[in-house]
């Protein structure tokens, strides 16, 4: 609804069913022109455009699949007609249609979901903040919420490769979770694995949580977390509900996949970040354009770890990097990190006293 107020003020404040209908009737449209992205490697400057598929995430999940895909393909064709050689699918536009596969099949230009770079930045963000909070990776229990998804599955594989103590895999489908756990067990036979369809149970012991569901948001409640844990919320809309900001000063939430683009990027579109900051899924398209790699880079559910590593190296080469940490529309300050560290330490001491 905040996006509606920003971009469609005529319907802001109207009742939800009416807004939903207006969105269904509104065709996909060109939203803004992007300028000023300049490679730090060779000075190449690129331009691009944003297109809007005017639907709420819950509509993308619940409306007729062909209708939704049609709107997404319409937006991609607008881009193609304006000369785009590659189109990136942001947020939920790659959740329908087999992680971008159906859209890519309908297009002549290249299509990417941006999910490989999203994974790279989520892992980098989560592990960096964990170290700042003195969480030892080899002793850590890590939970991936949405572990059977395109992003979650490869996040789980990468984090397992870091040699964590225990990995909890959480999603809705028990069968998909068991398949995911079987695959991980074959890759990492010594790793302790747990699967759960019960979110609070799955995350209550976790030191690090990477949350990347397509649930529509607000599924992680304040009471679920262990004191001192890190939650990297990759989902858009966010999985962590906003009350956590006030009710749990002893846990640290960061948004996953928030990136600063090199040069003087002007997106000319307010998606809630400061100037020059964008989502990793958007950045992946920019990086591939700077490399003139007009190919279906991250498409389909099975992402490859090699591609995550490759896009991460290309990002560094051109000067894309994590934007600093943000949560609940604000930067995460050093003071905030200190506060979590102190409260977590106090909580650990209190628990020891109670056990004695
Ligand atoms: N920050 C960024 O730059 C960026 C970039 C791209 C995408 N994203 C976001 O990342 C998220 C995941 O994208 P994806 O492409 O990986 O989606 P996906 O492949 O459709 O996977 C979604 C995952 O969420 C799980 N899930 C859905 N509803 C759930 C619920 N109520 N409770 C628990 N688990 C639930 C699914 O489990 P089941 O298999 O059991 O259904 C699945 O594991 C989306 O929110 C998307 O917007 C962010």
| pLDDT digits 0-9 by tens, 104-160 | 999 999 999 999 999 999 999 999 999 999 999 999 999 999 999 999 999 999 999
**Alpha carbon nearest to ligand 1 atom 2, residue:** 257
**Alpha carbon nearest to ligand 1 atom 20, residue:** 95
**Beta bridge partner(s), residue 110:** 86
279 within domain boundaries? no
Q: Which residue has the higher pLDDT, 348 or 66?
A: 66
How many whole angstroms separate alpha carbon 38 and alpha carbon 72? 28
**Alpha carbon nearest to ligand 1 atom 30, residue:** 215
Tell me the CA end-to-end span of the chain in Å, nearest whole number.
Answer: 50
Q: Domain range spanning residue 157?
A: 125-258+326-355
pLDDT (tens digit per residue) in 203-251: 999 999 999 999 999 999 999 999 999 999 999 999 999 999 999 999 9
Q: Judge whether 68 and 92 are in contact, CB under 8 Å.
A: no
54 within domain boundaries? no
Share of the chain above pLDDT 70, in %: 97
Determine the atom of ligand 1 nearest the C-alpha atom of 146.
Answer: 43
Q: How far is the CA of 148 from the centre of ligand 1 (A)?
A: 8
Q: How far is the CA of 65 from the centre of ligand 1 (A)?
A: 17
Residue 346's pLDDT is: 85
Residues with CB under 6 A from ligand 1: 91-92, 94-95, 99, 114-115, 118, 146-152, 171-173, 176, 212-215, 219, 234-236, 256-257, 279-281
How many whole angstroms separate alpha carbon 147 and alpha carbon 176? 9
Helix axes 305-318, 280-290, angle to 10 degrees: 70
Q: How far is the CA of 299 from the centre of ligand 1 (A)?
A: 15
**Alpha carbon nearest to ligand 1 atom 28, residue:** 215
Q: How far is the CA of 56 from the centre of ligand 1 (A)?
A: 15
Q: How far is the CA of 345 from the centre of ligand 1 (A)?
A: 32
Q: How far is the CA of 62 from the centre of ligand 1 (A)?
A: 15
41 within domain boundaries? no
Q: Checking DSSP bridges between strand 141-145 and strand 110-112, what pairing results, if any?
A: unpaired
Q: How far is the CA of 314 from the centre of ligand 1 (A)?
A: 25
**Alpha carbon nearest to ligand 1 atom 18, residue:** 149
Is residue 94 predicted with pLDDT exceeding 70? yes
CB atoms inside a 10 Å sphere around CB 136? 11
Q: How far is the CA of 165 from the centre of ligand 1 (A)?
A: 24
11 within domain boundaries? no
Task: Report the residue among 97, 153, 168, 171 best suited for mutation to probe ligand 1: largest number of ligand atoms under 8 A from its CB.
Answer: 171
314 within domain boundaries? no
**Alpha carbon nearest to ligand 1 atom 9, residue:** 235
How many whole angstroms separate alpha carbon 212 and alpha carbon 169? 12
197 within domain boundaries? yes
Instruction: State which H helix or E strand residue 89 sits in.
Output: none
165 within domain boundaries? yes
**Alpha carbon nearest to ligand 1 atom 1, residue:** 257
Give the CATH number for residue 236.
3.40.50.720
pLDDT (tens digit per residue) in 288-341: 999 999 999 999 888 999 999 999 999 999 999 998 899 998 999 999 999 999
How many whole angstroms separate alpha carbon 54 and alpha carbon 77? 15
Is residue 353 predicted with pLDDT exceeding 80? no
The count of structural domains within the chain is 1
């Amino acid at each position: 609804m905040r996006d509606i107020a920003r971009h469609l003020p005529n319907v802001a404040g109207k009742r939800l069913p009416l807004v939903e209908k207006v969105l269904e009737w509104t065709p996909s449209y060109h939203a803004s022109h992007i300028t000023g992205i300049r490679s730090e490697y060779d000075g190449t400057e690129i331009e691009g455009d944003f297109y809007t598929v005017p639907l709420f995430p819950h509509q993308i999940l619940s409306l007729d699949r062909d209708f939704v895909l049609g709107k997404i393909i319409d937006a991609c064709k607008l881009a193609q007609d304006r000369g785009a050689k590659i189109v990136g699918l942001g947020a939920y536009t790659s959740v329908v249609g087999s992680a971008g596969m159906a859209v890519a099949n309908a297009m002549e230009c290249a299509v990417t979901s941006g999910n490989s770079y999203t994974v790279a930045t989520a892992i980098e963000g989560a592990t960096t903040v964990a170290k700042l909070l003195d969480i030892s990776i080899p002793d850590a229990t890590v939970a991936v919420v949405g572990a059977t998804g395109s992003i979650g599955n490869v996040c789980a594989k990468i984090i397992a490769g870091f040699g964590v103590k225990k990995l909890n895999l959480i999603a809705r489908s028990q069968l998909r979770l068991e398949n995911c756990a079987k695959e991980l067990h074959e890759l990492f036979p010594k790793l302790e694995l747990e699967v759960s369809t019960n979110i609070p149970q799955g995350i209550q012991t976790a030191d690090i949580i990477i949350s990347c569901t397509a649930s529509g948001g607000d599924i992680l409640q304040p009471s679920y977390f262990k004191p001192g844990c890190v939650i990297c919320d990759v989902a858009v809309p966010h999985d962590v509900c906003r009350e956590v900001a006030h009710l749990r000063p002893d846990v640290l939430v960061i948004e996953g996949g928030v990136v600063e683009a090199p040069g003087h990027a002007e997106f000319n579109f307010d998606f809630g970040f400061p100037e020059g900051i964008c989502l990793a899924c958007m950045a992946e398209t920019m990086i591939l354009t700077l490399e003139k790699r007009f190919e279906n880079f991250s498409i389909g559910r099975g992402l490859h770890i090699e591609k995550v590593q490759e896009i991460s190296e290309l990002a560094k080469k051109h000067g894309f990097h994590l934007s600093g940490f943000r949560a609940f529309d604000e930067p995460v300050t050093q003071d905030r990190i200190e506060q979590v560290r102190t409260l977590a330490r106090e909580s650990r001491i209190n628990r020891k006293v109670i056990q004695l």
